[in-house]
């Protein structure tokens, strides 16, 4: 079974490319490494692109547009305790919290975990040409063992 993207008409699988990094790829960076990382992975059996992994953040945020594409039952969203601050210096209302299964890795080397701390946000992030500034997009992903 091939991955499918919403609105895609292609029947060919995406190319499988291995990406590796070494110390030579980090000139000028000091340990501990604290820059943000943008990845793609499976959340709730959907491929989610442009995930910003920021080790300086205290919350996991998922934008409502990506969440709605996953068709997760609304009853799974729990009430929020309050707003978030700091994305653009303004207050952002949280629509709720939800637990989602996240799969990292691929092929025979992957792991799936249930993360219960996702904050659901109805927000848009202006794009500055930086892929990390664009809200995540979700598309169906081949079923994984959860």
pLDDT at 52: 84
Domain ranges of the chain: 59-146
Q: What is the pLDDT of residue 122?
A: 84
Q: What pLDDT score was predicted for residue 35?
A: 66
Per-residue model confidence as pLDDT tens for the chain (146 residues): 445 455 545 556 666 777 787 877 766 656 665 667 788 888 988 888 888 887 777 788 888 888 888 898 989 999 988 888 875 678 888 899 999 998 888 777 888 888 878 888 887 654 444 444 444 555 665 444 33
Burial class of 67 by CB neighbour count within 10 A (0 to 12, 13 to 18, 19+): buried
Alpha carbon of residue 134 to chain centroid: 11
Gap between the Cα atoms of 35 and 27, Å rounded = 13
Q: What does the pLDDT read at residue 30?
A: 61
């Amino acid at each position: 079974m091939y991955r499918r993207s919403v609105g895609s008409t292609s029947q060919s699988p995406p190319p499988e490319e291995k990406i590796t990094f070494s110390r030579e790829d980090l000139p000028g960076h000091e340990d501990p490494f604290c820059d943000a990382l943008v990845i793609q992975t499976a959340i709730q059996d959907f491929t989610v692109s442009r995930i910003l992994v920021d080790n300086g953040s205290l919350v996991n945020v998922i934008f409502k547009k990506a969440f709605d594409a996953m068709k997760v039952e609304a009853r799974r969203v729990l009430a929020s305790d309050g707003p978030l601050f700091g994305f653009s210096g303004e207050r952002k209302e949280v629509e709720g919290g939800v637990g989602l299964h996240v799969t990292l890795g691929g092929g025979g080397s992957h792991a799936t975990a249930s993360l219960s701390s996702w904050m659901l946000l109805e927000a848009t992030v202006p794009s500055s040409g930086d892929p990390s500034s664009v809200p995540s997009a979700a598309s169906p992903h081949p079923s994984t063992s959860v």
